[in-house]
Structure 1
Amino acid sequence: MPHASNMGKSPNDPRYPNGWHMDDRMPHHDSFQNLWKTKWKDPCSKGIYPFMFGSIEDFQPIAEHIIAKGLKEPYDWDEYASCFFGTAEQLGQTAAVAQQEGDTDKARDYYLRASAVYRIARFPAPRSPLQKQAWQKGKEMFYAGAALMEHPIHEVLIPHTHAVNDAVATSGEEHKGSFIPVNLLVPPTATPSSPCPLVLIMTGLDGYRTELAVWQRGWLDKGVATLVVEIPGTGDSPALAGDPESGDRQWSSVLDWVARKEKRIDSRKIVVWGFSTGGYYALRAAHTHHDRLLGSVSLGGGCHGMFDGAWLDKVNNLEYPFDLADTLAYKFGYGTSSDGVEKFKKEGQKKFSLLLDGTLMREECCRCLLVNGEWDRIFPVEDLTLALKWGRPKEARIVTEKWHMGEPESFVVILRWIHELLGLDGDWMHQLKLLPAKAK
């Protein structure tokens, strides 16, 4: 891996002057051993993305087992996922026994630890049969543990009232009568006569509602409700993965439900926060739903270059832990075949670019904050500057010498912005202290 001191000194793709060293191959792509050593072991020990609610005690033996098997790219995803199931099942059994014995704290922690293990089994996306099973089991474990939290988090099924009809929904997913599963957490102080603001969190390519729940308690302490919802093509979103407008319909259904059914929430004070690929949808929603949002934050989101075939040809060797181009192709409705990936590279930009479809040219846009890391090699940071050139002026911050999303400094920038927008107390450090979500 190039040393950080050299980053930015010799970009080798002139189309992306900030897309440092696009011809490199980062070491974590050579073997799971390198992935664990150079990229995953440290965040696992700290309980941060993607190991929220996890424990190094659980993952170290799994990692050693995978390393002993010599797994590396391209992964057989069922073989990869199978390495996690034994540990996850044991954790779930321990949790169930603890719950039967009345040890709620232990049960909660072990359920959540099990959910973390299942999460990495289905990571980065449930593309194989066993990974899909891991996604289902992970949800069961998460909601069993979340129900035992001091402020329980429960799943809510929102009717997808803006879904297309059955004749149009050729995938068999989005249709009238389908539901949008979300996490909803409302402060106990909120009432219909004294409603609270809402932060609507749009999840990313691989982080779903079961993970980004880590943000919900911090907002609760600030008197702000949170609703965590998955973007099209991920998790349990019913929206059509290959339809550029399906996200618009999904957000309309969610916002309508909040306005009509959840009177404890002030529908005039809704702020969207999109993480990574969710940032693409947050930027789009800032335009398409400008009159329904107080503000929108795109953290690490792209808008145009993220779909460039030349960029996608490089990214499987760069910052992302696995096969980013293939995972994006799957998410955007192109399936798992190599032909589907190549088709996504050829036509994805024309189909999904917010520049080419005119979204960025629209004058109608709510207050919008764009944040990313200077060295992002998942989505080109040039997409952030591109979005600033069109339509209504936006606010932005590029975090210097940081990778995708600019963590953790980006969190301070965003929390401060939302606090000011909602008129909160400004003590955003209180929320950051609740992260990471490390298992006890």
Structure 2
Amino acid sequence: MAAPGGKFFIQEKLKTPAKHHESYEQLWETKWKKPAEMGVYPFMFGTASDFDPVVKELVSKNFKEPYNWDEYAKVYFPQAEHLKSIAEAAEKAGEKEKASEYYLRSSAIYRISRFPAPRSDVQREAWKLGKEVCIKGLGMRPHPVKEVMIPHVHRKEDEGEHIPVYHLVPEGASKDKPVPTVIIFTGLDGYRTELSVWMEGWRRVGVATIVLEIPGTGDCPAAASDPTSPDRLYSSLFDWIDSQQSLDNKKTAIWAFSTGGYYAMRVAHTHANRLAGVVALGGGCHYMFEKEWLDNVNHLEYPFDLANTLAYKWGYGDDVEAFKKEAMDKFSLLNDGTLDTPECARLLLVNGTEDEIFPIDDYYLALQHGAPKEARFVTGIKHMGEPASFFIIIKWLYKLFGIEADIVKQMQTLPFKPKY
């Protein structure tokens, strides 16, 4: 660990359980109610009132850890289907704006149903249905988001043939006037359906966006358990960008969220010559796999069983103990030499100093290896250091691309405010 005495920077907090792990009722009241009312992560496109009937039923049935994921997920379906039916009726009546809103509100319910990862049959169905209503809602907006199936030309035989991404290009982009691109790497639980919330804000400042999932999550075709699979994945992605005349491949940046930060740090080294800049927000690279850390994270900041969800994401299924035993040797960017690679794209590391999901120790470690990097830590704030971190990152990306715009106006596109 990076702190003096071989300890984590938040060592004294590792043994203190968060109240939201006591029950779903405490999860809602102490952690989720406020962001639901604000329409922000993880409730993008959602409203607190939409969740009221779901919350009431989960509380009345005293849901608590360990969750039966099928039984948990089922509770959300009637409300998601109800909102979808309103959207369908509005669409049939030609009320496009209303239909779009209600499809997206339905997607928010399906999202929390499959959250944090579709590990059960019902959660997998929620993921499938949530995708369907989300892209319908996004596709009905004045500036529709499109789903693109990018050929995974560098794949191995056991990997998927296509990379599903959400894509939005500003009007006027062309071969003669190509635009910069921000590629958004999603996290452990927020997929392209959620992180699409950032796309409209970037469009307004003349930047194209591509949103895709990281290995082991969503529909990512890369092998979850293969440490080298992201290298092939991103080679295929960059090759496709090179073929798009409306995108300036000399102005490609990555903004990775949470677990996606691990992949951002890797790709900044493996594909340095194809990137103008990389931002790793709230990620990790080495100590995130430390057994002592993983032994404690299930009762800390994350809303559910973080170690189990990470084990599932990295291809271990339910074998959490095997993940804890093997992950550092297999996936550490220090142990595999990535951090000491001499070439690295311009890389900005941002996180909150009190992060209880991935230790801030990993960013201190990264600064001590390989090429120089940039860093900005938000003091006294937990995972990802938001919302202050968003302003730090957007300002950095504006400068990278030579953009002059009002960051506040871009941030105002994030919270969901229902009209109907």
Q: Which residue of 2 aligns with 1:6?
A: none
Select which of 241, 246, 249 maps to 1:258.
Answer: 241
Q: Which residue of 1 aligns with 2:413?
A: 434
CA offsets, 1:193-213, max 9 Å, x none? 110000000000000000000
Q: Which residue of 1 aligns with 2:71?
A: 79
Deviation at 1:21, TM superposition (A): 0.6
Q: Which residue of 2 aligns with 1:32?
A: 24
Deviation at 1:411, TM superposition (A): 0.2
Deviation at 1:12, TM superposition (A): 13
Q: Distance in 2 between matches of 1:295 and 1:20?
A: 35
Q: Distance in 2 between matches of 1:427 and 1:189?
A: 21
Deviation at 1:401, TM superposition (A): 1.1
Deviation at 1:312, TM superposition (A): 0.1
Alignment map for 1:24-423 (pairs within 5 Å): 24-165=16-157, 169=158, 174-175=159-160, 178-260=161-243, 262-336=244-318, 340-423=319-402
Deviation at 1:15, TM superposition (A): 1.6
Greater shift after overlay, 13-22 or 26-35? Answer: 13-22
Q: Alignment RMSD, CA only?
A: 1.3
Deviation at 1:247, TM superposition (A): 0.9
SS in 1 for 2:180: strand
SS in 2 for 1:314: helix
Deviation at 1:427, TM superposition (A): 2.1
CA offsets, 1:26-55, max 9 Å, x none? 111110000000000000000000000001
Deviation at 1:13, TM superposition (A): 9.4
Deviation at 1:374, TM superposition (A): 1.0
Q: Distance in 2 between matches of 1:118 and 1:101?
A: 24
Deviation at 1:437, TM superposition (A): 2.5
CA offsets, 1:112-154, max 9 Å, x none? 0000000000000000000000000000000111111110011
Greater shift after overlay, 247-256 or 17-26? Answer: 17-26
1:81–1:13: structure 2 CA closer, same or farther, 3 Å change rule? farther
Does the 8 Å contact 2:9/2:360 carry over to 1? no
Does the 8 Å contact 1:52/1:438 carry over to 2? no
SS in 2 for 1:23: coil
Q: Distance in 1 between matches of 2:6 and 2:180?
A: 44
CA offsets, 1:298-323, max 9 Å, x none? 00000001011110000000000000
One-letter code aligned to 1:43:
P
Does the 8 Å contact 1:312/1:325 carry over to 2? yes
CA offsets, 1:206-263, max 9 Å, x none? 0000000010001001110000010000000010000011111111101101102x11
Does the 8 Å contact 2:152/2:236 carry over to 1? yes
Deviation at 1:402, TM superposition (A): 0.7
- Residue 15 in 1 paired to residue 7 in 2? yes
Deviation at 1:19, TM superposition (A): 4.2
Does the 8 Å contact 2:205/2:405 carry over to 1? no
Does the 8 Å contact 1:273/1:298 carry over to 2? yes
Q: Distance in 2 between matches of 1:230 and 1:439?
A: 27
Does the 8 Å contact 1:122/1:135 carry over to 2? yes
Does the 8 Å contact 1:12/1:21 carry over to 2? no
1:383–1:85: structure 2 CA closer, same or farther, 3 Å change rule? same
Deviation at 1:110, TM superposition (A): 0.5
One-letter code aligned to 1:249:
R
One-letter code aligned to 1:58:
D
Does the 8 Å contact 1:232/1:331 carry over to 2? yes
TM-score (norm 2): 0.98
How many equivalent residue pairs? 417
Deviation at 1:61, TM superposition (A): 1.7
Q: Distance in 2 between matches of 1:19 and 1:119?
A: 33
Q: Distance in 2 between matches of 1:400 and 1:263?
A: 42
Does the 8 Å contact 1:420/1:426 carry over to 2? no
Does the 8 Å contact 1:12/1:23 carry over to 2? no
Does the 8 Å contact 2:36/2:47 carry over to 1? yes
1:19–1:299: structure 2 CA closer, same or farther, 3 Å change rule? farther
Does the 8 Å contact 1:12/1:20 carry over to 2? no
Segments of 4+ in structure 1 off by > 2 A? Answer: 11-14, 17-20, 437-440
TM-score (norm 1): 0.93
Does the 8 Å contact 2:53/2:79 carry over to 1? no
